[in-house]
């Protein structure tokens, strides 16, 4: 036996492992089977978001025009395929060769796209704000991170909203067309003034609040409706937040700035147009789908809506013969809100940085379908995240075949207050550890909760406050699987669940409890757990069987109930013992049961 050899396995960076997936899945290891391919996190078996370690550059498909500065950033890191105007079929064909996809609002990233990617697509970057053209549920189900560029085009969109507001009020577009047609119709194009009029900003987020600020500068009385906006943010710029009905009933002008969601879809409809002031004017630089366009035509014809200025449409481009587009009281632009030179360069850089970061395995600050975790929290949690995954992985391998894992309880013991610990990462990694050894799905931070739910796996979390160092975010993590049989009976605790517990020592995850037995073995390589009658020479016997096969033992630890009674020996091994060696261990007379577990 090579005594306490220091482990040579290297774990990939935490950031990489959080968003990575395995290239192949393995069956649940059985106690006596050695027919296991290695699943060590140290082996280069991650299909990491970027296979930089494998000397292969990732491929990024840019499906819509992106600013040069962003393209340059991408090219430093990836092969960049700029293919614009792809049909849905062409996109589905290309996507299986791509690690990331960047789009604007003109490309539908449908479920078929994720299905066609064959698991290779790891990041979708939306070069802009609205992600209504990306099937987020499908992305999450496929473990694909979606990032957007939420800030760089805010001012551009707000300025376009103001441009449409003023142009509409003064009939700029109609008058321009008339003069160009050789006419001089000064009486026809008398406008309305903005000063003193009430503008209702519908959706008081980034764009909405910038529009409000500018409209106040034009002397308008600004109110806003946004069920989720904090009132003090509105008050700070002199805007009153009001209910939906009050907003639409009192406004002379309505400016729409909410996202398109099931709740906002066609929110301006016949019923709501009927509640508006006669002669109201509407600006939409949000999304076409928030207006029932047929109802808007009716409201225009009835004179309820005097004018509308629209940058966005339910279907883009809209049909040429659309009654709405052709209506003389409607001013239109072809989704130009974000289209300034400055915004496009900003968006391109913002999305390129987010996509490259995600491909490197970093947690994206603009993730749409995954938790965003501040870097300092991530650094602190790093060894506990590794511990969490390994405990999940160990616990599930202790389940006897056919048991069906349904209920898992995780206990986090810490000296910190419960709200001082973000457990989403830990839960995701425990879920990854629990599911991956027994299925063909890969689990990452994006799809962990979804995958658990889909498999009917209920994970409950409990916080226990114990004395300890406030420097440490956690003292220990315990994973219990209820209502199952174990292939290693000693793993069943007094209360009847499979129980494993671990902590972090000097930055290294350790297993410290199995069932009711205390052990202490570092969670690296693989582990053999043996239950035996406590007696002299056991460590030597098992150690020499492994030594004969040149299997390096990294740790050994024995936990016992009482001297000369039952004990559990935990042996950390760097290599996988052969089937024969495992059988010989099982044949040692004092050994009552044993299990070989891959980490």
**Which parts of this chain interact with ligand NAD (CB under 6 A)?**
129-130, 150, 153-154, 157, 202-208, 225-229, 257-260, 263-264, 285-287, 311-312, 335, 337-338
Q: Do 463 and 471 meet the contact criterion of CB atoms below 8 Å apart?
A: no
Active site residue: 15, 281, 335, 393, which one?
335
Residue 399 bridge partners (DSSP): 486
* C-beta closer to ligand NAD: residue 260 or 585: 260
Residue 283 bridge partners (DSSP): 255, 309
- What does DSSP say about strands 198-202 and 221-225: parallel, antiparallel, or unpaired? parallel
Residue 499 bridge partners (DSSP): 480
- φ, ψ dihedrals at 87, nearest 5°: -75, 160
The one segment of 83-91, 126-134, 235-243, 395-403 that binds ligand 3PG by CB under 6 A: 126-134
Site for ligand 3PG in 337-396 (CB under 6 A): 337-339
Closest approach of ligand NAD to the CB of residue 359, in Å: 25
Q: Is 255 in the site for ligand 3PG (CB under 6 A)?
A: no
Q: What is the Cα–Cα distance from 253 to 280, expressed in whole angstroms?
A: 6
Sheet (strand 553-560) strand order: 553-560, 566-573, 526-533, 591-598
In 376-457 the beta strands, taken as DSSP E runs, fall at: 407-414
The one segment of 168-176, 334-342, 416-424, 434-442 that binds ligand 3PG by CB under 6 A: 334-342
- One of 15, 94, 104, 221 touching ligand 3PG (CB under 6 A): 104
- One of 20, 153, 284, 366 touching ligand 3PG (CB under 6 A): 153
Closest approach of ligand 3PG to the CB of residue 343, in Å: 8
Closest approach of ligand 3PG to the CB of residue 102, in Å: 11
Which letter, b or e, does each residue of 30-66 get, where b requires 16 or more Cβ atoms within 10 Å of its Cβ? ebeeeebeebbbbeebbbbbbebeeeeebbbbbbbeb
| 497: region left, alpha or beta (phi > 0 left; psi from -120 to 50 alpha) | beta
Q: What is the Cα–Cα distance from 427 to 373, expressed in whole angstroms?
A: 14
* Known catalytic residue at 287: yes
Pick from 39, 5, 33: nearest CA to 586: 33
Given ligand 3PG, ligand NAD, none, residue 127, with its beta carbon under 5 to 8 Å by kind, binds: ligand 3PG
* Known catalytic residue at 327: no
* C-beta closer to ligand 3PG: residue 105 or 447: 105
- One of 127, 355, 405, 481 touching ligand 3PG (CB under 6 A): 127
* Known catalytic residue at 328: no
Active site residue: 225, 281, 287, 584, which one?
287
- Residue with the CB atom nearest ligand 3PG in the bound state: 128
Q: Is 62 in the site for ligand 3PG (CB under 6 A)?
A: no
Angle at CA 293, nearest 5°, toward 245 and 134? 95
Pick from 494, 498, 471, 277: nearest CA to 400: 498
Q: What is the Cα–Cα distance from 244 to 224, expressed in whole angstroms?
A: 9
State how far the alpha carbon of 35 is from the alpha carbons of 31, 543, 545, in Å: 11, 21, 19
- One of 105, 314, 512, 554 touching ligand 3PG (CB under 6 A): 105
Closest approach of ligand 3PG to the CB of residue 64, in Å: 7
Q: Do 528 and 599 meet the contact criterion of CB atoms below 8 Å apart?
A: no
Closest approach of ligand 3PG to the CB of residue 61, in Å: 16
* C-beta closer to ligand NAD: residue 1 or 129: 129
Given ligand 3PG, ligand NAD, none, residue 263, with its beta carbon under 5 to 8 Å by kind, binds: ligand NAD
Active site residue: 68, 89, 240, 316, which one?
316
What are the residue numbers of the active site? 287, 316, 335
């Amino acid at each position: 036996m090579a005594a306490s050899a220091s482990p040579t396995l290297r774990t990939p960076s935490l950031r990489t492992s959080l968003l990575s997936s395995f290239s192949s899945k393995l069956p649940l290891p059985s106690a006596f089977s050695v027919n296991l391919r290695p699943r060590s996190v140290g082996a280069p078996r991650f299909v990491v978001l970027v296979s930089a370690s494998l000397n292969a550059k990732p491929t990024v498909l840019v499906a819509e025009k992106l600013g040069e500065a962003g393209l340059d950033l991408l090219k430093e890191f990836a092969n960049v395929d700029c293919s614009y105007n792809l049909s849905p079929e062409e996109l589905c064909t290309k996507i299986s060769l791509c690690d990331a996809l960047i789009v604007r609002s003109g490309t539908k990233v449908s479920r078929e796209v994720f299905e066609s990617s064959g698991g290779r697509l790891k990041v979708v970057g939306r070069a802009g704000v609205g992600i209504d053209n990306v099937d987020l549920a499908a992305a999450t189900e496929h473990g694909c991170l979606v990032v957007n560029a939420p800030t760089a085009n805010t001012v551009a969109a707000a300025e376009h909203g103001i441009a449409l507001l003023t142009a509409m009020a003064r009939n700029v577009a109609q008058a321009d067309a008339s003069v160009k047609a050789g006419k001089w119709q000064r009486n026809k194009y008398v406008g309305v003034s903005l000063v003193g009029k009430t503008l209702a900003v519908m959706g008081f987020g980034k764009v909405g609040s910038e529009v409000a600020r500018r409209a106040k500068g034009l002397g308008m009385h600004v109110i806003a409706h946004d069920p989720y906006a904090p009132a003090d943010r509105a008050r700070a710029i002199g805007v009153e937040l009001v209910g939906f009905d009050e907003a639409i009933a009192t406004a002379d002008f309505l400016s729409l700035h909410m996202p398109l969601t099931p709740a906002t879809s066609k929110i301006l409809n016949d019923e709501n147009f009927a509640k508006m002031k006669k002669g109201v004017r509407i600006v939409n630089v949000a999304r076409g789908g928030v207006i029932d366009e047929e109802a808007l035509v009716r409201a225009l014809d009835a004179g309820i809506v005097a004018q509308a200025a629209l940058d966005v449409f339910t279907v883009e481009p809209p049909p040429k013969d659309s009654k709405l587009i052709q209506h003389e009281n409607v001013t239109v632009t072809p989704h130009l809100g974000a289209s300034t030179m400055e915004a496009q360069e900003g968006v391109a850089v913002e999305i390129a940085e987010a996509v490259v970061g995600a491909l490197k395995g970093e947690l994206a600050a603009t993730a749409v379908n995954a938790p965003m975790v501040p870097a300092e929290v991530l650094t602190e949690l790093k060894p506990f995240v590794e511990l969490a995954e390994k405990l999940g992985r160990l616990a599930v391998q202790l389940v006897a075949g056919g048991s069906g894992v349904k209920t898992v309880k995780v206990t986090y013991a810490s000296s910190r207050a419960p709200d001082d610990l973000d457990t989403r990462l830990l839960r995701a990694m425990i879920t990854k550890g629990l599911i991956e050894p027994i299925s063909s799905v890969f689990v990452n931070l994006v799809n962990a909760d979804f995958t658990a739910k889909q498999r009917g796996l209920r994970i409950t979390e409990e916080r226990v406050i114990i004395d300890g160092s406030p420097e440490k975010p956690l003292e220990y993590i315990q994973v219990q699987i209820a209502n199952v049989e174990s292939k290693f009976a000693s793993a069943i605790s007094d209360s009847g669940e499979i129980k494993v517990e671990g902590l972090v020592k000097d930055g290294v995850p350790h297993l410290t409890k199995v069932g009711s037995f205390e052990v202490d073995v570092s969670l690296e390589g693989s582990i053999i757990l043996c239950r035996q009658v406590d007696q002299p020479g056991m460590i030597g016997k098992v150690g020499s069987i492994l030594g004969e096969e040149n299997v390096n033992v990294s740790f050994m630890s024995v936990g016992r109930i009482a001297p000369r009674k039952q004990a559990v020996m935990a042996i950390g091994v760097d290599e996988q013992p052969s089937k024969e060696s495992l059988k010989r261990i099982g044949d040692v007379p004092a050994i009552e049961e044993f299990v070989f577990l891959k980490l």
